């Protein structure tokens, strides 16, 4: 079994509704995102999933969120655009396109800073 990943990033603004502190005010982050696919078997070329394919699919989601006010995005109308919800959003959006007989999305990590983040495993 192999875990294959790519890292990317996006910038965006948000605020956490009803948060008891500064994060309730509009502010921004340069979110770092790591998407991991778990591979059960390699293809005939000896690859689990082509990095090019992985990057293309992840970039579709990144492009939806990059340089936006995340509170205005339809996915975050009923929930705060927290790192947890952002990680879950990536996972849900990628699950259909990164699931085959050989591999499936395993985890999405979202970091607000180098030392603070979450990992979502689905479910």
Please report the pLDDT score of residue 48 as a whole number: 96
Number of H helices, E strands in the chain: 2, 5
pLDDT for 3-61, tens place per residue? 999 999 999 999 999 999 998 999 999 999 999 999 999 999 999 999 999 999 999 99
- The arithmetic mean of pLDDT across residues 78-90, rounded, is 97
What's the token pair of residue 21? 């502190």
Q: In this structure, what CATH number is given to the domain that contains residue 92?
A: 3.30.479.10
Provide the domain count of the chain. Answer: 1
C-alpha–C-alpha distance, residues 20 and 116, integer Å:
19
41 part of the active site: no
79 part of the active site: no
15, 64, 73, 112: the catalytic one is 112
23, 64, 73, 84: the catalytic one is 23
pLDDT higher than 80, residue 123: no
C-alpha–C-alpha distance, residues 106 and 121, integer Å:
6
24, 41, 67, 79: the catalytic one is 67
What is the span of the domain harbouring residue 8? Answer: 2-120
Predicted TM-score (pTM) of this structure: 0.95
């Amino acid at each position: 079994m192999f875990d294959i990943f790519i890292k990317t990033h996006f910038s965006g603004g948000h605020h956490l509704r009803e948060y008891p502190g500064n994060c309730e005010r509009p502010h921004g982050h340069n979110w770092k995102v790591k998407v991991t696919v778990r591979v059960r078997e390699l293809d005939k070329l000896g690859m689990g999933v082509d990095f090019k394919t992985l990057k293309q699919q992840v970039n579709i989601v990144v492009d939806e969120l990059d340089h936006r006010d995340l509170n205005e995005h339809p996915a975050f109308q009923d929930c705060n655009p927290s790192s947890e919800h952002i990680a879950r959003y990536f996972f849900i959006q990628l699950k259909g396109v990164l699931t085959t007989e050989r591999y499936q999305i395993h985890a999405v990590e979202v970091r607000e800073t180098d030392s603070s983040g979450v990992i979502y495993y689905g479910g």
